[in-house]
Structure 1
Amino acid sequence: MTWRRWKDKASGGLFALLTAVAVLIVVLIGGGLWWKARPITRTHSIGQLLFSSTWNPFDGRFGFWGYIAGSLTVTGLAIVIALPVSVLAAVYLSEFAPVRLRKWLLPFIDLLSGIPPIIYGVWGVLTVVPVAGYTALSGGVVLAVMIFPLLISILLDVFRTVPEGLKDASLSLGANDWETVRKVLLAKSKSGILAATILAVSRALGETIAVLMVCGNVATPPHSLLDPVYPLPALIANNYGDMLSIPLYDSALMLAALVLFGIIFVFNAISRLVLHRLERRNY
């Protein structure tokens, strides 16, 4: 008995240590980016860096607003396209699809999640860009296709948390299938749908190669969906290592990475909080 207790304590301590290491890695990443970004924050105000659209490293001007606006535009468009389609697909797979078809489609959806982003980028260049050009619209369409599998998988898990008794009660009271889906399944899953959307935003914000290949890479805030854009991940991927002889350029790119890191961290934290509350409510 003493040996078993010792093993339980050792296992618990090991798991706690691994958890602490994971948290420490996140802290170190954020701290490292902040340390590398300090030189540019000493010579430029945060407001000037984040809300100026002028990007001219040779004159010491580092305005990130064009890149931030590009990231938000492409990501927002991707969510607008992907969310309705993903919700409808998840409802069909969860409530209406035959078991045999569901077993065939779910592995296919998981397979889409494993396709490298560069494949999506090539697909976008070959099929979307000839129609929409190198624009925010092309980036939004490609990102929407990339996040379909993530959204559908999370939404299926969310729909499984809705008790079958509630749906049976709705049907027994005379509601049809669509009314049950709308007033029971979707109504009870609002928090989960919100969490899934936030996770998808985090995934879309961090995509680099696919967006870089189809968005046009013009660092000005877009005025329409047919304007080219230059998201933050593409800025880092395109320039890091090429122009670091320019004073403060390395620091500027590290600040871009820190801004992206902070945005994704906040979105992930919110989604985890929402999912945690959903689990507590159902259990």
Structure 2
Amino acid sequence: MAESWTERRTIPINETRQAASSRDVRATQRRSVDRVCGQVMAGLAGGAVLLVAAIVIALLARAWPIVCAQPLEELLLGRTWRPLQGAFGFWPFIVGTLWVTTLAMVIAVPLCMLCAIYLAEYAPSVMQRAVRPLVDLLAGIPSVVYGLWGVMTLVPLIREHVGPWIDRRVGHVPFFSTAANPSGYGVLASGIVLAVMVFPIIVSVMEEVLRSVPDGLREATLALGVTRWIMVRQVLLRRVRPGIVAAVVLGFSRAFGETMAVLMVVG
């Protein structure tokens, strides 16, 4: 009788020890996998940092003879670009980039904000499901396609309609006069093309930021008897102001680094 009781007691103890041992083995394997994955991700992150450092070092090494030959002030503020003659004036490129990018953001930011507000707060679900894939599709179109659209559609429109209309209304102001460049190519065409290019990025980020606001905040505001537009303007936009700034910065970065489409329509 005692032997049978001892056997019955020993079997569960052995099973418990085996289960604990298998759990320890699995835990050790998981820790090893986590350690290896962490080391791999750290290596990839370090590789990205080293890649940026290598690019900077390569650019400095190639540009160092020019920096030594000409003062930095002359390089940044020079207006003559003749590389074969040793003249490297970056001022026209700097001013042109800032001008086109600023115009693009002035056009894009108000339209993108209104579109994001409509999609997040006013549009029915059918409209949302139809518009979101189109916005994502715009983000995936190559820049050369936007450039071709600008050359084939936007430039003739500016040359034949927009430019003459601006000349009749405010042509006496030198900044708006198109007499010196009636071809349609220029800063206006480039700014509109860049505004269209950054449109999907800014709209997507702003819409997601607006949707992150809790519904309870909307319901509490509407319960006070205010209109939906006052709720959006006074509550939601103040709540998501950092996200809106981030969306504008992302769009500005995309527009600031674009070259192909701008070269095709700037003239």
Category of TM-score, reference length = shorter chain:
0.7 to 0.9
Pairing 1:89–2:115 present? yes
- Residue in 2 that maps onto 1:215: 266
Q: Partner letter of residue 48 of structure 2?
A: A
Residues 55-85 of structure 1: CA deviation (Å, up to 9, x unaligned) = 2334422111111100001111000001111
Give the 3-state SS of the residue equivalent to 1:134 in structure 2.
coil
CA distance in 2, matches of 1:105, 1:194: 23
| 1:115 maps onto 2:141 in alignment | yes
Q: TM-score, normalised by structure 2?
A: 0.78
| Higher deviation after alignment, 186-195 or 72-81 | 186-195
Higher CA-based Rg: 2
For 1:26 and 1:125, how far apart are their aligned partners in 2? 35
Query: Offset of 1:145 from its aligned partner?
Result: 0.6
Cα offset for 1:161? 2.6
Shift of 1:86: 0.5
Equivalent in the alignment of 1:224? none
Aligned sequence identity (%): 48
Q: Which ranges of structure 1 fall in alignment gaps of 5 or more residues?
A: 217-283
SS at match of 1:70: helix
Deviation at 1:117?
0.9
**1:181-260 to 2 correspondence within 5 Å?**
181-216=232-267
Q: Does 1:153 align with 2:179?
A: no
Correspondent of 2:186 among 127, 135, 142: 135
SS of the aligned residue for 1:12 comes to helix
2:87 to 50, 53, 61: 61
| Aligned twin of 1:106 | 132
Q: Are 1:78 and 2:104 an aligned pair?
A: yes
Return the letter of the residue paired with 1:12: G
| In the alignment, structure 1 residue 166 sits paired with structure 2 residue 192 | no
Q: Deviations over 1:24-74 (max 9, x none)?
A: 222222222222111111111111111222223344221111111000011
Cα distance in structure 1, aligned partners of 2:215 and 2:53:
42
What is residue 36 of structure 1 aligned with on the other side? 62
Does residue 17 of the first structure (1) align with residue 17 of the second (2)? no
Higher relative contact order (CA 8 A, sep 6+): 1
Task: Give distance in 2, aligned partners of 1:192 and 1:45.
Answer: 41
What is the CA–CA distance in structure 2 between the aligned matches of 1:44 and 1:183, rounded to whole Å? 54
Once residues 86 and 104 of structure 2 are traced to their aligned partners in structure 1, the CA distance between those partners, rounded to angstroms, is 33
Give the Cα separation in 1 of the matches to 2:211 and 2:63: 44
Q: How many angstroms does 1:91 deviate by?
A: 0.5
* Structure 2: gaps of 5 or more residues: 1-26, 159-183
What amino acid is the match of 2:207?
L
- Measured after TM superposition, the shift of residue 19 of structure 1 is 1.4
TM-score by length of 1: 0.73
AA matched with 2:222: L
Describe the SS at the equivalent of 1:3: helix
2:196 partner amino acid: V
In structure 1, C-alpha distance between the alignment counterparts of 2:60 and 2:127, rounded to whole Å = 49
Q: Distance in 2 between matches of 1:59 and 1:23?
A: 36
Pairwise CA distance, 1:207: 1.3
